Chain A
Amino acid sequence: MILLKRIIKSGFKNFKRSGLISWAAILVVTITLSVITTIIILQATLHFSLNQIKDKVDVTIYFNVGVPEDQIMSLKDSLLKLPEVASVAYTSSDEALQLFRDRHSEDYPTIQALDEIKDNPLGGYLNVKAKEVSQYENIANFLKTDSLSVSGFGSIIDKVNYNQNKLVIDRLNSIIAGAQKLGFLITLLLIIISIIITFNTIRLAIFISKEEIGVMRLVGASKMRVRGPFMIEGAIYGIIATIITLLLFWPITAWLGRNMTGFLGLNLYDYYISNIFQIFVIVLLSGVFLGMVSSVLAVRRYLNK
């Protein structure tokens, strides 16, 4: 306990006395943490955009006119049992007609033609959304299976629009997979580069103290007593860099929120503020971890002499 207290006290004292070197290390850790924060925000934007696109994709099953609603409902139930299906929305033929009328309210000849027919020419339809874009094919295949025809569903379905949309869905699928893979690779690369730069800066800061480390050992200090204050210093770098980073991103996201919301579809400032706690925890842990681990690795070289 007394050792821990001394280590913490020394860590703070060393940090204060190292002056410019401490601030140089903080600057580099801040850059690393800014990269991490940028990645968090970029991932959120990417995720949001992809979700929006995914949301626009669906498969619609159109039924023949006059199919009883209970048959449609039982197909809906069997669709909902599929693990790939996220939701199924039913639109009755009356609702379909109303929607059609609303859509064409300005188009007088069409409405007039509709009025001439008197009977509702539109069938009901089911709107099926899958959990993943890649799963639409499975759902379309399910609708083609024999079991469906055996249970009598085959005769009530007018058409399924999957095949018309197949090309778009496939292309979207590969774009989403590519974007996610690319995002992951860029993230990994940036984080590795940042870690290497941070590690080297802290190593340089500790290199200056290499003789002192030797002296401490000669005086009879245990490894932990020598290493500890450097770890505390590393943690302080992380904590201060976290605060600076989060303060820096405040005006940056505010500006982006004001000027880029239309383009991105997502208000980054709102996102930043509503997720500030999670971002704080991620950035703080990264910063403290980076500072402490870099210190341990850097001191280790001189400690074993």
Chain B
Amino acid sequence: MIYFNNVSKVYNKDSVALEDVTLTVKEGEFVSIVGHSGAGKTTLVKMILAEDMPTDGTVFFESLDIHRLKSDDLTKFRRRIGVVFQDFKLLSNKTAYENIAFAMEAVGKTEEEIKSDVPHVLELVDLGNKKNHFPHQMSGGEKQRLSIARAIINQPEIIIADEPTGNLDPVNTYEIVQILKKINDLGTTVILTTHNKGVIDSIKKRVITMEKGKIIRDDKDGKYAM
């Protein structure tokens, strides 16, 4: 589904974010990418979202060369991916309901679909009673659940979660991981970056370990090994 071919990203001579990364993610997989801060996890994710261009190499999503897409095609491509960030990246001047509705509007859903799906997904992440709250009126765990709801609302083919539990306490972390596992069980590919040992050990799926921009381990049914 996703193919990295000898991808390198050099910001300047002294900071190499990715070095010759070759990697395949298959459909339906749950892949955890672990490593210390600065190991290159977030850069890897940015490559998939075409937020950043590789200095060398190519990244394919099925048959699409992600970094050669034109602006319109890139917009369409991003609609096939749901993203969850450590800092949530919610629209601060929109309510919980509107944040999710916006993602549906972006892909051209009708008002009827929005009206029926948004309350449903808010219930799913246990935010049914917070639909008129703005992000600044919600706790960290609630914001992250909202951000997951937004990521899954359009039934994307893949969910990318970049350190989704970085700002959360253990209880909220556990909840978020359970939601991600459930999403994966329903058939969606999940790519998770984290440096939380507990999270990795509880998932018991494929683990890719990165260090200084390189992949140093790739274990099926892996555990946190750093």
Which A residues are closer than 8 A to B by beta carbons?
2, 6, 14, 17-18, 209, 211-212, 214-223, 225, 305
Knowing A2-B110, A225-B106, the reply to whether A220 touches B93 (Cβ < 8 A) is no
Looking at chain A's contact residues, the main secondary structure is: helix
Instruction: Choose among A209, A214, A220, A223 the residue that contacts B103 (Cβ–Cβ < 8 A).
Output: A220
In the complex, chain A residues whose CB is within 8 Å of the CB of B89: 211, 214-215, 218
Task: State whether the Cβ of B105 lies closer than 8 Å to any Cβ in chain A.
Answer: yes
Instruction: Choose among B71, B92, B106, B111 the residue that contacts A219 (Cβ–Cβ < 8 A).
Output: B106
CB proximity of B144 to chain A, nearest CB, Å: 15
Could you give 19 example pairs across A and B, Cβ below 8 Å?
A2-B111, A14-B93, A17-B93, A209-B93, A212-B92, A212-B93, A215-B89, A215-B90, A216-B106, A218-B89, A219-B83, A219-B103, A219-B106, A219-B150, A220-B106, A221-B75, A221-B106, A222-B72, A225-B105
Contact assessment for A219 and B102 in the assembled complex, using a CB-CB cutoff below 8 Å: yes
Instruction: Choose among B51, B91, B110 the residue that contacts A216 (Cβ–Cβ < 8 A).
Output: B91
Contact assessment for B102 and A216 in the assembled complex, using a CB-CB cutoff below 8 Å: yes
Task: State whether the Cβ of B79 lies closer than 8 Å to any Cβ in chain A.
Answer: yes
CB proximity of B118 to chain A, nearest CB, Å: 14
Task: State whether the Cβ of B107 lies closer than 8 Å to any Cβ in chain A.
Answer: yes
Nearest first, the 8 A-B pairs at minimum CB distance are A220-B79, A221-B106, A220-B78, A220-B106, A215-B89, A219-B103, A17-B93, A219-B106
Q: In the complex the two chains form, what is the Cα distance from A87 to B127 in whole Å?
A: 83
Task: State whether the Cβ of B47 lies closer than 8 Å to any Cβ in chain A.
Answer: no
Q: In the complex the two chains form, what is the Cα distance from A200 to B154 in whole Å?
A: 37
Knowing A6-B105, A225-B105, A225-B106, the reply to whether A218 touches B83 (Cβ < 8 A) is yes
In the complex, chain B residues whose CB is within 8 Å of the CB of A215: 89-91
Which B residues are closer than 8 A to A by beta carbons?
49, 51, 71-72, 75-76, 78-79, 83, 89-93, 102-103, 105-107, 110-111, 150, 154
Knowing A212-B91, A215-B89, the reply to whether A220 touches B107 (Cβ < 8 A) is yes
CB proximity of B101 to chain A, nearest CB, Å: 9
- Report the nearest B residue to A209, measured CB to CB: B93
Contact assessment for B93 and A217 in the assembled complex, using a CB-CB cutoff below 8 Å: no
Contact assessment for A218 and B49 in the assembled complex, using a CB-CB cutoff below 8 Å: yes
Q: In the complex the two chains form, what is the Cα distance from A211 to B93 in whole Å?
A: 12
In the complex, chain A residues whose CB is within 8 Å of the CB of B111: 2
CB proximity of B1 to chain A, nearest CB, Å: 18
Q: In the complex the two chains form, what is the Cα distance from A216 to B107 in whole Å?
A: 11
CB proximity of B79 to chain A, nearest CB, Å: 4
CB proximity of B154 to chain A, nearest CB, Å: 8
In the complex, chain B residues whose CB is within 8 Å of the CB of A6: 105
Q: In the complex the two chains form, what is the Cα distance from A17 to B76 in whole Å?
A: 29
In the complex, chain B residues whose CB is within 8 Å of the CB of A18: 93
In the complex, chain B residues whose CB is within 8 Å of the CB of A223: 71, 75
- Report the nearest A residue to B107, measured CB to CB: A220
Knowing A212-B92, A212-B93, A223-B71, the reply to whether A217 touches B78 (Cβ < 8 A) is yes
- Report the nearest A residue to B81, measured CB to CB: A220
Contact assessment for A220 and B110 in the assembled complex, using a CB-CB cutoff below 8 Å: no
In the complex, chain B residues whose CB is within 8 Å of the CB of A209: 93
In the complex, chain B residues whose CB is within 8 Å of the CB of A14: 93
